[in-house]
């Protein structure tokens, strides 16, 4: 792993020089700003018992579906299409270092983009100049738990994007594949759990709850730090990245 830091710096530079990175960033911030504005509009019109910070994180799945594919679709697919992956592997680096550097660069950028949304309550405060508004919007425990969950779950989501990019030479195919897998991960357990399967319903309830990202998110936002989501995201991220490394090595 002695070359990982060098590869990571290279991948971060590539992200900042990529047009798709800026497209993903602008779309993400515009989408989250629109969601935050609509959320505040609803709170101004009606009274809610749930704090706005908790409701804000309930929409996390929507930008993930679009942002992660845009950030990761060219990570390996473009290298294979341009035949630069072979030259990279001819250097004294391992496949694990290559995949980890691409994964960490995308994950760091993913987390930084989400942290930018922390500015939304302060923008509202400067617009209203009301300490009471800031106290209502800025719930530090909810934000701490929410961002912790975003960074933790992002490990698996970004790993899925890297694997999708490793499976094909086409950025478009990689993005569509990543979108499909993420859709299943994010919404699949909730959609399946809403169905009735007769005597199998109770049997499926427990594993579906374990896979339900919505329940994981709610637990973190409310300050309940469970080790099961930690195990789920970390181990599956490692598994997905291992598969990606084997796929790239077999096709290199």
- Across the chain, which has 252 residues, the per-10-residue mean pLDDT values are 80 80 84 87 72 81 88 82 71 81 92 90 76 70 88 93 89 90 84 58 60 80 80 92 87 64
How many Cβ atoms from other residues are within 10 Å of residue 214's Cβ? 16
Total residues belonging to the chain: 252
155 closest CA partner among 96, 106, 218: 106
Tokens of 245: 């490394």
Q: How far is CA 87 from the centre of its chain?
A: 30
Domain ranges in the chain are 4-251
What pLDDT, on a 0 to 100 scale, did the predictor assign at position 54?
Answer: 79
DSSP label of 92: S
In angstroms, the Cα distances linking 78 to 36, 84, 85, 171 are 34, 8, 9, 7
- pLDDT for 208 equals 63
For 54, the token pair is 């908790």
CA distance 54 to 143: 8
Q: How far is CA 238 from CA 83, 157, 159, 162, 206, in A?
A: 26, 12, 8, 12, 24
CA distances from 86 to 93, 94, 104, 182 (A): 12, 12, 21, 29
Contact 204, 197 (CB under 8 A): yes
DSSP notation for the chain:
-TTHHHHHHHHHHHHHH-HHHHHHHHHHHHHHHHHHHHHHHHHHHS--SS-HHHHHHTTTHHHHHHHHHHHHTTTTHHHHHTT-HHHHHTSS--HHHHHHHHHHHHHHHHHHHHHHTTHHHHHHHHHH--HHHHHHH--HHHHHHHHHHHHHHHHHHHHHHHHHHHT-S-HHHHHHHHHHHHHHHHHHHHHHHTS--GGGHHHHHHHHHHH-HHHHHHHHHTT---HHHHHHHHHHHHHHHHHHHHHHHHH-
Q: Is 99 exposed, middle or buried (0-12, 13-18, 19+ CB in 10 A)?
A: buried
């Amino acid at each position: 792993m002695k070359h990982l830091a060098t590869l990571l710096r290279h991948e971060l530079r590539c992200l900042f020089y990529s047009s798709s990175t800026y497209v993903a960033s602008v779309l993400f911030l515009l989408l989250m700003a629109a969601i935050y504005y609509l959320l505040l509009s609803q709170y101004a019109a009606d009274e809610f018992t749930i704090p706005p910070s908790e409701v804000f994180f309930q929409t996390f799945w929507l930008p993930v579906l679009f942002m992660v594919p845009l950030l990761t679709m060219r990570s390996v697919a473009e290298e294979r299409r341009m035949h630069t992956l072979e030259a990279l592997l001819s250097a004294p680096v391992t496949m694990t270092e290559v995949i980890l550097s691409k994964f960490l660069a995308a994950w760091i950028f993913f987390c930084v983009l989400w942290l930018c949304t922390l500015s939304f309550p302060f923008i509202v405060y400067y617009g209203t100049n009301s300490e009471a508004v800031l106290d209502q919007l800025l719930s530090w425990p909810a934000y701490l738990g929410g961002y912790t969950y975003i960074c933790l779950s992002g490990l698996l989501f970004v790993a899925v994007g890297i694997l999708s990019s490793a499976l094909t030479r086409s950025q478009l195919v990689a993005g569509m594949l990543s979108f499909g897998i993420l859709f299943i991960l994010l919404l699949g357990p909730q959609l399946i759990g809403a169905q009735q399967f007769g005597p199998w319903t109770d049997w499926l309830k427990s594993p579906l709850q374990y896979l339900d990202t919505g329940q994981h998110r709610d637990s973190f936002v409310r300050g309940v730090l469970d080790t099961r989501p930690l195990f789920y995201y970390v181990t599956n991220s490692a598994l997905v990245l291992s598969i990606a490394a084997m796929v790239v090595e077999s096709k290199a």
